[in-house]
Chain A
Amino acid sequence: MNRTIVTLVGKDMVGIIAKVCTYFAENNINILDIAQTTVQDFINMMMIVDTSKTDKSFSQMTEELDKIGDKICCTIKAQHEEIFNMMHRV
């Protein structure tokens, strides 16, 4: 298991989550958990995904997520889970 946290922030519209999920499905990245809040028109989504089975390198994945983000007018950020564990768990 190689857990990566993906965060998406932007203006809500139809098909945002579908676009991101399709990308993960096509690249053999398993979604472990999704949390989402929408305040007014803005969507704030966090996914925990397993990147251990994908052929893509981490930098390829972040570049391609950036491109998807541009298309749907959102910022998508992928980070190894470890930075959050280190900061918030003793």
Chain B
Amino acid sequence: MGMIDPYEVLETNNMIERENLDVRTVTMGISLMDCCDPDLDALNMKIYDKIVSTARNLIPVAEEISLEYGIPIVNKRVSITPIGIVGASACRSPEDFVTIAHTLEKAAQKIGINFIGGYSALVAKGMTRSDRMLIDSIPEALGSTERVCASVGVATTKIGINMDAVRLMGDIIKKTAQRTADRDSIGCTKLVVFCNPPDDNPFMAGAFHGVTETDAVINVGVSGPGVVKTAVSRVRDGDFETLCETIKKTSFKVTRVGQLVAKEASRRLGVPFGIVDLSLAPTPAVGDSIAEILQEMGLEMVGAPGTTAALAILNDQVKKGGIMASSYVGGLSGAFIPVSEDSSMAEAVTAGALTLEKLEAMTCVCSVGLDMIAVPGNTAPETLAGIIADEMAIGMINQKTTAVRIIPVIGKDIGDRAEFGGLLGASPIMPVNRFSCGGFVNRGGRIPAPIHSFKN
């Protein structure tokens, strides 16, 4: 291997210092299957002990790696086995489940992480009694904790869409919004509804440790919207071939850093390396935006005609560059298009360039879905369910992950602004189509799996 060139060193350090290159998250997945116990107190104690003992070195090790390689690691997090499964042996009521949420909060606090994901249920085909109680407990669980993240898988390509669960989630989102009405309904920022959820997603709020996973695993999410934006700005006059090659090469470099950090974290923690997630994840910081990349590609504002095509290019080239840079790629691996977490996306909404319908179209070509969207607080639960159903259908038919994280901000309407703070950002309230879908979403039952899922 040749000596490192000073220009290469300069390039890497410019990416870190000026273009926000970082590792977005090191997430430790922890199985709680061995915590199951018919006694609720014993279950809670086992869950606490398992998380704290397995992840106690997560933050010190991540900080050590960050120092030694000179690369910021923004978030350190934990994902766990869906609590709908873990709690089934002991929980007899939604209130019983809430005690587990409080245990997760305490464990997260103890190890010093800001989010723990996996207060989840997977109900694409049907809900067990336990799953139903967990879902019913979500408003109180998210209302009385800060770090716990919940997700509900209501559809897959192989199974179809559980419309009873979709309709129920309309109510649950509304109740969660009401329960946290004093803080711009912030509870809903930690609640994701999924189609085709991956078992190894390191990104919150939708992370959980799937039942196909081993005892503990390290998954890493790379970042780099700022780096990609700067690279794209250098080829403003280039044709599509030049544009695509530029994104691909940049993505390779960004992902290599993620691979390095993932392998090191795995080695130092004595926990197997799972995957690197290639998703470009924005933050509200200026220059750390997906919208700005799309605008750099030639759009006046994100949402203008051409936006879906531009996003399709970005997502595909990021994958093509990233795949070769990591030995195992997984999770969501696409571009995230959250509104409140991406200040230029929120700006495009304010300017009238970006609508809910355009965002829905964009979710057809990227991960993950309608994300961090603030809507009027008086939006009907049936309408929320209709929005979820549309997004689940896109995921199911296109054999991809889609998700909905929508916030009906209680007490606010079009023209107002929701402030969630920190990485969750801020967003104008977006208009929602005012015609009813009640007759459709209230039918009850399931939407069958699509024809192309029958491959056996």
B5 touches which of A62, A83, A88 (Cβ 8 Å): A88
Question: Is B4 touching A88 in the complex (CB atoms < 8 A)?
Answer: yes
Given A58-B68, A89-B1, are A84 and B259 also a contact pair (CB < 8 Å)?
no
- Number of B interface residues, CB 8 Å? 23
Given contact pairs A46-B6, A48-B3, A80 touches B12 in the complex (Cβ within 8 A):
no
From B261, which residue of chain A is reached at the shortest CB distance? A83
A84 to B64, alpha carbons, bound, how many Å?
18
Whether the Cβ atoms of A83 and B71 lie closer than 8 Å is yes
Identify which of B1, B2, B6, B259 gathers the most chain A CB atoms within 10 Å of its CB. Answer: B6
A59 located at the interface, meaning its Cβ lies under 8 Å from any Cβ of chain B in the complex: yes
Closest A residue to B15 using CB positions: A87
The answer, yes or no, to whether B256 is at the interface (CB within 8 Å) is yes
Residue of B4, B10, B64 near A85 (CB, 8 A) is B4
Q: Complex Cα distance A5/B13, Å?
A: 11
Q: Are B8 and A87 in contact (CB under 8 A)?
A: yes
Interface residues of B in 1-44 (CB under 8 A from A): 1-6, 8-13
Check if A81 sits within 8 Å of B4, measured CB to CB. yes
Contact yes or no, B256 A7, CB < 8 A: no
Q: Is B260 an interface residue (CB 8 A)?
A: yes
- Residue B257 interfacial (CB < 8 Å): yes
With contact pairs A48-B3, A48-B4, A86-B257 given, residues A80 and B9 touching in the complex (Cβ less than 8 Å): no
A64 close to chain B: CB less than 8 A: no
Complex CA distance for A35 and B9, rounded to whole angstroms: 11
How near does chain A come to B429, taking the closest CB pair, in angstroms? 42
Partner among A7, A44, A83 whose Cβ is within 8 Å of the Cβ of B260: A83
A83 close to B69 (CB less than 8 A): yes
Query: Can you name 23 A-B pairs with beta carbons within 8 Å?
Result: A5-B4, A5-B9, A7-B9, A33-B3, A37-B6, A46-B9, A48-B3, A48-B4, A58-B68, A59-B64, A62-B67, A77-B13, A79-B68, A79-B69, A81-B4, A82-B69, A83-B71, A83-B257, A83-B260, A84-B12, A86-B256, A86-B259, A87-B253
* Chain B residues with a Cβ under 8 A of chain A: 1-6, 8-13, 64, 67-71, 253, 256-257, 259-260
